[in-house]
Amino acid sequence: PLVTTTEMFKKAYEGGYAIGAFNVNNMEIVQGIVDAAKEEQSPLILQVSAGARKYAKHIYLVKLVEAALEDSNLPIALHLDHGDSFEICKDCVDGGFTSVMIDASHHDFDENVKITKQVVEYAHAHGVVVEAELGRLAGVEDDVNVADKDARFTDPEQAAEFVALTGVDSLAIAIGTSHGAYKFKGDPYLDFDRLKKVGELLPNFPIVLHGASTVLPEFVAKCNEFGGNIPGAQGVPEDMLRKAATMSVCKINIDTDLRLAMTASIREYLAKNPSEFDPRKYLGPARDAIKGMVAHKIKNVLGSSHKL
Ligand code: G3H
Ligand code: 13P
Ligand code: ZN
Ligand code: NA
């Protein structure tokens, strides 16, 4: 059966590595990721956003992940990414997920605690684990000052209080990452001092890093070479992710790198083979591109190879 993240996070915390949480939206994405994890013998989190549920339908994604489980024999957790209400979290708990994220970080602290607590109570009663978020995910510009950081990034003392008040199983924090392909205007920067402080105040507690794609230059270049237009894209350097993984970060979220790998491959194929129109001809290589990228992440960045 699908597993929760409890055991994988415990081992990851102790072993100084992180589990990759990859966003899935269709069959080729699921297969590319799972084939890589199978080759690397790595535990895996497959996550589904509200947008993914809208695009592919809840039931199709659950069945694809169940097929992946049967095909791979890996410990796989099925996770809701950025649930924004109790209702969507309940839907996913009731609908076969083993982990849900309640993201009430746009509310004030007390309201975030209140909504998160409600989700924790329901999810735990059904054997499902919960991730929450505190702080605002935003890119850091070149000249960010201390006051800016304190306003946007997660306060370590508040994080400890939040965890104690809610009973949540893991926490996403803001230390400089952001979603998408344009994370930094100047040099990349993550607030490792803040991450360290969170780790000291919350010993043995798994931290989650959102917005953790690297925006690999080879895929950006390939998109732009074959008709794309994504100038100035920049992500989190892999050595920073590696460092975070050795610390309390146990879950690293990757979606943009999947999108770029897939799109670069499809653009190249269609540009070079203008008379082909069989979707398998371009979706096959796209799946292979995802597999290669994910295997690289698992082996060289997350450190979760052979950790079953
Ligand atoms: O958090 C953002 C993830 O990349 C999911 O994106 O909401 O477009 O599916 P999405
Ligand atoms: P990226 O956009 O950096 O891939 O982040 C994905 C994410 O955090 C999903 O929740
Ligand atoms: Zn996210
Ligand atoms: Na870790």
Cβ contacts of 28 within 8 Å, gap of 6 or more: 262, 283, 286, 287, 290
Indicate which residues carry an active-site annotation. Answer: 81
DSSP codes, 183-240: --SSS----HHHHHHHHHHSTT--EEE-S-----HHHHHHHHHTT---TT-B---HHH
- Residue 179 Cβ inside 6 Å of ligand 2? The answer reads yes
Cα–Cα distance between 37 and 101 in angstroms, integer? 23
Cα–Cα distance between 94 and 62 in angstroms, integer? 12
Please name the residue that has the structure tokens 């890589």.
36
Residue 204: the pLDDT is 98
3-class secondary structure, 53: helix
Burial (CB count within 10 angstroms: exposed 0-12, middle 13-18, buried 19+), residue 243: middle
pLDDT of 138 above 80 = no
Neighbours of 114 (CB within 10 A): 14
Cα–Cα distance between 225 and 216 in angstroms, integer? 14
Which atom of ligand 1 lies nearest, measured to the CA of 55? 9
pLDDT digits (tens, 9 = 90+) for 78-130: 999 999 999 999 999 999 999 999 999 999 999 999 999 999 999 999 999 99
Dihedral sign (CA 31, 56, 21, 193): positive
Average pLDDT over residues 254-261: 98
Identify which of 255, 257, 258 to mutate to test ligand 1's pocket (most ligand atoms within 8 A of the CB). 255
Which atom of ligand 1 lies nearest, measured to the CA of 82? 1
For residue 149, how far is its CA from the centre of ligand 4 (angstroms)?
A: 23
- Residue 52 Cβ inside 6 Å of ligand 1? The answer reads yes
Residue 38: the pLDDT is 98
Average pLDDT over residues 268-285: 98
Residue 140: the pLDDT is 54
Identify which of 178, 179, 216 to mutate to test ligand 2's pocket (most ligand atoms within 8 A of the CB). 179
Residue 144: the pLDDT is 62
Please name the residue that has the structure tokens 């990228």.
293
141 vs 72: which has the higher pLDDT: 72
Query: What band does 151 get if pLDDT is binned at 50, 70 and 90?
Result: confident
pLDDT of 143 above 70 = no
pLDDT of 193 above 60 = yes
Query: What band does 136 get if pLDDT is binned at 50, 70 and 90?
Result: confident
Cα–Cα distance between 117 and 114 in angstroms, integer? 5
- Residue 256 Cβ inside 6 Å of ligand 2? The answer reads yes
| Residue nearest atom 7 of ligand 1, based on CA coordinates | 51
Asked if residues 79 and 46 have their Cβ atoms less than 8 Å apart, the reply is yes
Average pLDDT over residues 252-266: 98
Ligand nearest to the CA of 180: 2
Asked if residues 124 and 130 have their Cβ atoms less than 8 Å apart, the reply is yes
Please name the residue that has the structure tokens 């489980």.
69
Cα–Cα distance between 42 and 40 in angstroms, integer? 5
pLDDT digits (tens, 9 = 90+) for 196-250: 999 999 999 999 999 999 999 999 999 999 999 999 899 999 999 999 999 999 9
Least Cα distance to 32 among 298, 308, 289, 277 occurs for 289
Cα–Cα distance between 163 and 146 in angstroms, integer? 25
Average pLDDT over residues 245-274: 98
**pTM for the model:** 0.97
Least Cα distance to 139 among 190, 101, 103 occurs for 190
Q: What whole-number percentage of the chain has pLDDT above 90? A: 94
Residue 148: the pLDDT is 76
Least Cα distance to 42 among 65, 9, 23, 19 occurs for 19
Cα–Cα distance between 215 and 213 in angstroms, integer? 6
Q: What mean pLDDT value characterizes the chain?
A: 96
**If you count them, how many residues does the chain have?**
308
Burial (CB count within 10 angstroms: exposed 0-12, middle 13-18, buried 19+), residue 160: middle
Average pLDDT over residues 142-169: 88
Average pLDDT over residues 34-53: 98
Residue 137: the pLDDT is 86
Identify which of 25, 79, 179 to mutate to test ligand 1's pocket (most ligand atoms within 8 A of the CB). 179
For residue 137, how far is its CA from the centre of ligand 3 (angstroms)?
A: 8
Average pLDDT over residues 139-146: 59
| Residue nearest atom 10 of ligand 1, based on CA coordinates | 51
